[in-house]
Structure formats: C-alpha cells, structure tokens
Structure 1
C-alpha cells in the first residue's frame, strides 16, 4: 500500500492510497478503531469527511460503508485502486492535541500518527508500505522509519502505524548515543515556548544516563536507533505514547508568574522534570509492551476491543521503572525520586484506595471507562496501583534475597522468554516467572495485590520499612511519605 499526504489548508490532511494486485469481486478497506497504547475505542473514522475509490483507469467504483469504519468496494474487474479521502486533524494548543492525535498546518508543521488516518486493505497488513509527504524541501522529518527523500518506508502496515512523525522547518534535534544505540531528542516548539534555561548538554547527559541504565537492565536494546518526538505546547500538558523505536511526548509548562507587563514566566524546572519522567517511562515501553507484549495483543486487532488482564504489567511496571531508572542512573536524587513516588502514592490511596475492582478487573475495563474518573470507588488505575504493587514485589524480592534478586530478574526473564522471541505472555506466564524468581508460589501477593481489592497501606508499609520509608495520613487524610 502506497500513501501520499498533502495539506493545503489548516487541519485538513488529504490522503491518497494506492493498492495494486487486486483480485476478486469486492475489497474491504478498514480504518483502525483504536490505537495501541490507549486501550479504548477512539473511532478515527469520524474525522473522515469524503471518501472515493477509483480503478487503474481513474473510473469511480461503487463503495459503501459496512461498519462504522469499514468500506466495501465493488471492484468491477479493477486490478488496482486509488482511494482518495481526507482527514480533519485536531487543533493545536486547545488540549486536543495529544501524543496520539494528529495536527497539520501547511505553513507551520505537521504532526501525524498514521494510525489515525491510514486505511488498510483487508488481509494485506503484512505487505510493505510507503508514505510520501508533500512538504517543502527545506522541512526536516522526525520519524523512526527509514526514508528516501520525503517518502517513509515501512516493512508492513504494523510498522507504518507504529511510526508517528513530525515535519517542520523549526525542528530541533539533540543527538546522543547510549550503549551503541543512536538516539535523537526531537523538539517542536522550542523556539516558541521553551525558556532559554533549557540546556542541550544537560539533556544529553541526563538522557544518556537513564537510557544506559535501562539498556543495562535488559542487556540489549531491541532497535538500532530511538527517537523522542517532543512537542511543546504553550499550555500545561503531559502525555506520552510508546512506539517500537520512538515515542511522542506532548508537554506544556505550568505558568509561575505574570509580571507588570503581562509577560508569563514558565516553570522551566518543572517542565524539564516532566520531560525526564515521561521520556524514561516511554523508553521502558520499548521492551515492556512493544516487545514484551500480552498474548491478547499479538497481533493487534485494529477493528475492535482487545481485552486483556495484564495492563498492571504493561503500564504499572513501566510507571514504576520510569522514575526508578531516573533515580538509579543518578538523574534524580533521593529527594526528587521520593517526590515522584509520593505523587503516585497520593493518586492511588487518596482517590482509589478503597475501589471495588481489582487490577485485573480494571485492566479489562480499560475498554469501558479506563481513562476517565468514572463513578467513585469503582476502579483503580493500572498505572498508579500497578506501580505500587510493582514496588511491593521489588521490595519483597530484595528483602528476601538480601538484594541479590529483584523485579529486574522478573523483567529479564520476561524479555528472554517472551519479548526477544516476540511470542506474547499470559497472566499465568507472568505469575509463573514471579514464582520462579521468588522460589515460592506468591499466592499471597497475587490474591492481595493483583486480583484482590483489599487496602494496601499495611502490607506496603511492612515492605517500605526495608528501605526506611513509611506512609501515613495527615489530619486531612492526605498521604504523607516519610
């Protein structure tokens, strides 16, 4: 499948898709209903305004919708197709541009997640794809895919839609190497929104340190290169999405003060801490999810919900390690790390500490209401509670084996047995690896922390004592870490 993208007016992306070697009487064309990394239906087809199909002689072909995001073409003897349609991309700077959406301005920049807008021919997901951008010659392109000129090349549809890109003439590129892996921090918006105190050399030092710490944990990196595609907004924002050899990070500063002339002063230190936190989290996903993937998600079915119970592994462990790697590598000192840990503790215990659903149930219900607050005391966050129970397992193993074993050993076994061969793990597989590392069944852990909904303050404090920490509640019932 060959795609060409053009932007002639703000927010509207014109797409042409060419599909060759067509046979049969009909062909179904599908647009994904969701995107990996966000386990909810997002119905991208609602942004498609026009849709037309032509044969190799430019004759229009009959086409009709058969589902909300699936079109059936009557081929009438066609041997190749040209599909012309447009996609209305979201508006930047209004809390609608996030790390999973798209934006296009012909005079400013393009930011595209191909999964939002690239259809595919039924049964042809594994064929090579190309995507050509109609952009000015002097614009740069930030993307994890190889390219020839302005054409991005993908081994198959899965690779294409797992490779977002930014195209602009104001992209900033900060390059470094970590254990032989070529890494680039791309920043769109530096010129407009980032304060002068942002230090390129500090970014190189800090990103190198946490990248090397993560590579050292697993012993290898799954890809030859990696790209942090960063968009800085003028409003407070924090979001990231993982991809096979890249991530999109969308950030915006909190405003500290407004002087007498009405000038806003951004919280540069807070913005940089946010950048480090989300970048470390998303890099860890290169192993955990992009390769160490739940069996239910391998391969992805883009047409419907992909239910699974192990998002506490996919997101909870990643949330725990994101900040832990910053601490282990020396980017965060003890004070900075405990500050981030307290945020996670407060978000769970002050919001969902008495929730009815377990982690496995809340993982399943991501597809129902996992990304909104929902009714009180119903579900837990697979990110926050998932990170807390990951820390509890890590501390339990370290205490039992005098720091000779830890959650690191669990992750390395997951990588060697499931991630590296890329075969997908089940809940039972994860449980068996934990038992193997712990040299005991660990029923208490899974019954209490994973499939149960009992309050965790007491067992957590028992394990926090191993590192000299303790959580309590103040007079207002708020969590305090000391």
Structure 2
C-alpha cells in the first residue's frame, strides 16, 4: 500500500502540502526511484508538472531521519540505500491552474488532478493506494474513487488514483440520475451557476441512455460529472476512468442557448470517452508510461470518432434537433477548412504529432486536427457503412466490436486492428478509405457529399464573403488598433506579396483598420498596400486573380427534393423524420 496525505495551511498561497509514504522491500536492489508523471491521459503532450513542486524532502518514516536523495531527471528523484525502509517524501505543490486538466486551491475549494501532483514509486505502480485529505469539517468531497472513511479515498493502483480528479468545497451541489441501471452523479462547483436541474438531468439522462444502448454495457459501476462553472468565459473538458472534469463559463449564462449547447456537447463527448480511450485503449498505452511520450497512430479514433458522436448522439437521443446538430457539424467543417493544413499531414501522422505541437497553432499549413478532420472522416465512414448495408450496419457496430474485443478484455488495439474491424463490419475491403483519408491527405468534399446524399443531405460550398480572405487569400486580426496578417492561403494573390505578421497600414492611401471590407470592395484592378514588415515600411501591389474563392465555407444542408429512400435514410441515421 502506498499512502498519500494532502493538506493546506494558507489556501491563498495556492500551495498544497503533500506527503507520500512508501515501504521499500528489504530485498530491493538499487535506489528507490520516485517519479512524477510528465503528462496526463487526455492531453498527449509533455507538460512538466514538476515545475509546480517546491521544497522536496525525504526522510525515514519511523525515525524522521533525513535521507539523501538525487534528482536524476526533471521529474524523477532517487533515494539510495532505501531497502527495508519506510520512506516519506514531503513537498509543496502549487495548485493554481483552473482548467479541466489542472488543480486549484483557494479559500472556497480544493480541486485536484492527482496525475499532476502525486509521485509514484517506480516498480510499485500496481500496488493499492490510499489518499487522505485534511479538509475543513464543513467541506464536501466529490470524486469517483471509493471513500472508505471521511475524506479517505482508496484506489486499486496508481493508474486509478492518477485518473481520479476531486473537488472539495462547502458549496458544491450534487444531483443524481440513473440510466440503464447505472447511477450518474452531477456535481457543480460555482456559486454563480443558476442550473435548471430538471432540464439538465433530463437531457443528461437521455444522451447517457443512448450511449449505453449503443455499447450494450458500461465499463464502470458509476459515473461522476465534476463541473467547475466559472464567472468568466471558459471551455474545457477532460475524460477519466469513471468521471470527467468540465470547466465552463460564464456561470450565470449557463442555461442560455449559446452556453448550454456547449455544456451538452462536451458532456456527451467526455462520457463517450469512458468507452473510447479509457476502456478501448490503444496498445501503446497498455499500460500508461507516465515518464515519457506514449506515441500512437489512432488518436483520430480516440478523439475524431468521439467528436463525431459527441454531437451526433445528442440529436439521436432527441436532446437536440437535426438543425441544431447541423449547426455544430458546420462548425467542425468551418474549423477543418480554415487553413490548408489538411493537404500536408495525414490523420494518422497527426495523431503522432500531437506530442509535438498538436494543441498549439504551429507553423502555417503543417498539420490537421484529429478532432475536426477525424470527426468528418468518422461521419464519412458511418454513412458509408450504412449505405453498404441498408442501415443494418454502421459505425455503431465498429465501436461495439472494439468494446467487446478490446475494451472488455483490457487488450490494447492498434491501427491495424481498427482497420480490420472496420473491414469486417463493412464486409468488403476498405483499403481505399484508409489510404486516402486516414493515412493520406485526399480531400473529403466529394466523397462526403455523395455519402450525405444517401441520407437526404448535401455538402454545400459557399464563397467566402470576406473579401480579404475570399478574393485575395489573407486573414487578419485587429491587435491594439493594428491590422496584423495572421494567415495566407497558399498560392493566393496575397501570398505573393504579403507575409504572416505584416502590419497592414493603409490601402490605396486610406488607413487600414476594421474597414478592410469597405476598402477592398470597389473591385479595383490593383490595390496599393502599405505594410510594416519587421519595422520597415514597404509598398506592395495586390491584384485579384481569376479562380476559386479562398477559404470556401462548407455546410451540411437537407436536400430540397429528397426521394423516399433518402428520407428513410435520414430517419434511420438521425432518428428524426425528414
């Protein structure tokens, strides 16, 4: 058993006091190695949590004798001569990151993601763990772990402990519902949150029941939605073993359409992860190696398929209408076609490159989103499987097969396993799909439009109405009254004369600001642009060229005239009448 104790003295400092007690076998050889995770499941990049640790100390737990130690990497400490001893580590952890993957301490709450803050003894990861929290007497604790005594949590191993976020506060709210015989807990931290509980619980129950029906079972005995509703705008969610943390704001606007749809979408998405990434786990992460990158090629399954189902199942469970679903689907299309990165990197390679720069903009046109293109590739696959089998088979069958073969057995799957299961469900070779859209960079527009026609819909292209983007191929942002060029479409007129980070000063002698649309509207054969580039003033000429619009906008819309088969396909796909 590994014992952890977490307390705090002054919550306004945001520092937690953490103790770890580990027994080292007498027959152990070599030093005791204590590792802090370098990343967290759900965000596949190194995060260097050790930068939040202050004042590390080691001692013999029985005598309190200080023990020598040596830091050997940025987040690993070694204690020599520890065999046969009970070793205590003491340190402070700075909990001042309020997002769904962070930790936070103030006078109103303790919010902890253990994966950020708790060391583990290398070689003892499979040992049971006990976490004791020193909390004020009026504080209530929300966590997916078993509570064996007041403020004492039990985990079967470090993996389970690391994957169990908690919130403790005197004001946390709690409600509960049941779906498919499974208890679901909804926790809300945030005094400003005006929650319409009957509506929220009814909607959550509906999409939870839809997911349980899809998979035919649930990997865990109960589930916890841990919500942080903030007084300012925020959006983030992270999946865990039997819980999720969702951070949204502003809390007072939570039930307004613009924000409530975000709550529904992220909640449905994160619940789907309970199967798809937590149970159905890539082979490269069986088990997790917290000390280094866990490269895997199937994040387009883990995140792309989940992004597709996160909004789609809200419509299928009748929580959202088809029109509302199409709004969210069109937003995914907009984000995917917002740059030309999809031409240059495949989904499989983008899965690997998440560890490199997957969560930051990166250099222009280098990469593609496993979330956005992954969702569109999943939509294409779902509609293709439905077309092949008259809606008797679908992507649902693929996910059920993955759950049966890998999720329930604890075996990890590879990209070859996923391709095999897809092929078996399709009943035909699907190599073209994988060659073009997963391992290649083929455009999705035409095949997606054909697939949508089978369910009475179509992919409609609209010219970009923003003249600077659609006609000339450059995007700008207004920063402190400065117009900065932020993106250039490859081979566009603007790409021949402008550069990213140029400051656009004037167009045809008139000062540039929020008036670009007006200044570029006359349709002149040539425009004189004054720009600052690296603090040097340049004059360049920008001329429109015949050809396609840049930054084309794509939307999914219902066909104005759909035949009987298309209407029936729509109903079988979405569960709504056409």
Structure 2 counterparts to residues 244-259 of structure 1, below 5 A: 244-253=241-250
User: 1:170 and 1:327 mapped to 2: Cα distance?
Assistant: 33
Whether the 8 Å contact between 2:24 and 2:84 is mirrored in structure 1 is no
> For 2:77, what is the secondary structure of its paired residue?
strand
1:479 Cα deviation (Å)? 2.4
1:391 Cα deviation (Å)? 0.5
Whether the 8 Å contact between 2:282 and 2:413 is mirrored in structure 1 is yes
| Gap regions ≥5 residues in structure 1 | 91-95, 255-263
RMSD: 1.4
User: 2:141 and 2:339 mapped to 1: Cα distance?
Assistant: 41
User: 1:454 and 1:213 mapped to 2: Cα distance?
Assistant: 33
> For 2:460, what is the secondary structure of its paired residue?
strand
Structure 2 counterparts to residues 200-349 of structure 1, below 5 A: 200-253=197-250, 268-349=256-337
Comparing 14-23 with 413-422, greater Cα deviation is found at 14-23
Structure 2 counterparts to residues 39-438 of structure 1, below 5 A: 39-55=44-60, 56-75=62-81, 79-90=85-96, 96-105=97-106, 107-147=107-147, 148-189=149-190, 191-192=191-192, 194-195=193-194, 198-253=195-250, 268-352=256-340, 354-438=342-426
1:377 Cα deviation (Å)? 1.4
Whether the 8 Å contact between 2:253 and 2:259 is mirrored in structure 1 is no
Whether the 8 Å contact between 1:397 and 1:403 is mirrored in structure 2 is yes
Q: Deviations over 1:209-264 (max 9, x none)?
A: 0000000001111111000000011221111111110000011139xxxxxxxxx9
1:258 maps to none
User: 1:142 and 1:458 mapped to 2: Cα distance?
Assistant: 48
> For 2:279, what is the secondary structure of its paired residue?
coil
User: 1:383 and 1:375 mapped to 2: Cα distance?
Assistant: 18
The structure whose Rg is larger is 2
Aligned residues: 463
> For 1:19, what is the secondary structure of its paired residue?
strand
1:64 Cα deviation (Å)? 1.1
The ranges of structure 1 where at least 4 consecutive aligned residues each deviate by more than 6 angstroms after the TM superposition are: 264-267
Whether the 8 Å contact between 2:18 and 2:92 is mirrored in structure 1 is yes
TM-score normalised by the chain length of structure 2: 0.78
User: 1:182 and 1:272 mapped to 2: Cα distance?
Assistant: 23
TM-score normalised by the chain length of structure 1: 0.94
2:36 maps to 31
1:447 maps to 435
Q: Deviations over 1:410-447 (max 9, x none)?
A: 01110111111110101111100000011111011001
1:480 maps to 555
| Gap regions ≥5 residues in structure 2 | 465-551, 558-578
User: 1:389 and 1:454 mapped to 2: Cα distance?
Assistant: 11
User: 1:57 and 1:314 mapped to 2: Cα distance?
Assistant: 48
1:260 maps to none
2:23 maps to 20
1:468 aligns with 2:456: yes
User: 2:368 and 2:48 mapped to 1: Cα distance?
Assistant: 25
> For 1:431, what is the secondary structure of its paired residue?
helix
